[in-house]
Amino acid sequence: MKKLRYLFILCVFCIGCTSELDVTINDNIVIEYGHAIHKNVLIDAKKSNKNVSVSKIEGLDINKIGRQEVKVTFTDGSRTLEKQMVIDVEDTAYPIIKFKKKVVTLNAGEKYDVRNNIKTVKDPVDGDLAYSDKKTEKNGYYIDSGKLNTKKAGTYEVMVFAKDVNGNEAKASFKVVVKKKKVVKPVSEPTNNGVSNSNTPNVSGQSNNNTNTSNNTNKGNASNSTNKVPAKNDTSSSGNKTNKPAGNKKDDGKLCPLGKDPYKPCNAILNYKGGYGVYPTIEAAMDDGERLALDRKSPYWMKGFTAGPLFNNINHVQAYTIFWDMEH
């Protein structure tokens, strides 16, 4: 009777016992540098108990490449199991280089900093890479301008090389097209303040600019022989309703008779629209453009630009200005 009682107690005790959690781990686990691990890749679900999950991983640094030994804790909700595992962290992502333009166009003689065309140089995990003025072995980028000569017309290739902290290297290039500097042909300056005197004799004591002055060689108030035919604007002509008197620029209101706009001064700038600033030389315009493009507080920071001439009323180069590329 006592034996039966002990046997019954033993059976009850065994029924309450639980077996150890059965987990089969996968071999050759590889994860990407800087990325969280997907815990379901650690176990072979078909060969493990149901509802097994990873509750904790100790000793894993996802921001360090190489083989790492870690301790993993598994659970099914009621049972737990700790196992040692080996995980390899690899960096297979390359830096990404982006340009503002694939082709940059300049006029010969313009100053140009190739860095102005760099939009971003980034590592997918570590972010922006720093610029270096010489070849870098890791964690930065440098620029090889090749044979770029902004004073000589031609097409040049600029190479950009980038390396991340783990030595992955990327490269990209853009072109710089240098155009021949436009030569502005000189325009002959107008004579006699812009009024031709081909029909007006130069009589001693008489101004060439006043074609309506009576000739001193004629008696009384007789008109100069060159003015026998009344000018269209001559208010003395019968039937002429024009209020402007004929004669020189002071009489008809023209400040620059040979200019595009004769009623504006000859040195007036007519094509300023779209420009920024007025500079005496193209070098001064380029220097100020570079200063603004590299100033983080400037609205033109990292914007592309070119410097070009401003023409006056008689098509002469009067000054220079900056044209900003605000679309990039």
pLDDT digit string, tens, across residues 172-190: 999 999 998 776 666 555 5
- On the question of pLDDT at 236 being above 60, the answer is no
Whether residues 84 and 101 fall in one domain: no
**Whole-prediction pTM value?**
0.48
Domain containing 101: what range? 96-179
Class of residue 296 by CB neighbours under 10 A (exposed 0-12, middle 13-18, buried 19+): exposed
Is the pLDDT higher at 145 or at 224?
A: 145
Q: Are 173 and 160 in contact (CB under 8 A)?
A: yes
**Minimum mean pLDDT among 213-227, 259-273, 301-315: which range?**
213-227
In-domain check, residue 51: yes
Q: Among 126, 150, 152, 148, which residue's Cα sits nearest to residue 139?
A: 126
Per-residue confidence (pLDDT) for residue 11, from 0 to 100: 52
- Mean pLDDT (whole number) for 196-216: 41
Strand order across the beta sheet in which 96-99 lies: 96-99, 118-123, 127-128
Is 236 a member of any domain?
no
Tell me what pLDDT residue 101 has. Answer: 95
Q: For residue 190, which phi and psi values (nearest 5 degrees)?
A: -65, 150
Q: Which two tokens stand for residue 112?
A: 């140009």
CA distance 300 to 37: 42
Distance CA 219, CA 215 (A): 8
Among candidate residues 62, 90, 118, the one where a domain is terminated: 90
Instruction: Report percent pLDDT > 90 for the chain.
Output: 41
**What is the Cα gyration radius of the chain?**
43
The answer to whether position 171 is within a domain reads yes
Residue 23 sits in the same domain as residue 85: yes
Of 124, 154, 179, the position where a domain reaches its end is 179
Q: Looking at 42, 67, 90, which one is the last position of a domain?
A: 90
Q: pLDDT tens across 69-112, in order?
A: 999 999 998 999 999 999 999 999 999 999 999 999 999 999 99
Question: Are 108 and 155 part of one and the same domain?
Answer: yes
- Which of these ranges, 117-131, 143-157, 289-303, has the smallest mean pLDDT? 289-303
Residue 10 lies in a domain: no
Number of domains in the chain: 3
Q: Which domain CATH number covers 70?
A: 2.60.40.10
Is 159 contained in some domain?
A: yes
**Mean of pLDDT values over 32-40:** 87
Domain membership of residue 191 (yes or no) is no
**Predicted confidence band at 124 (pLDDT cuts at 50, 70, 90)?**
very high
In a domain, 151, yes or no: yes
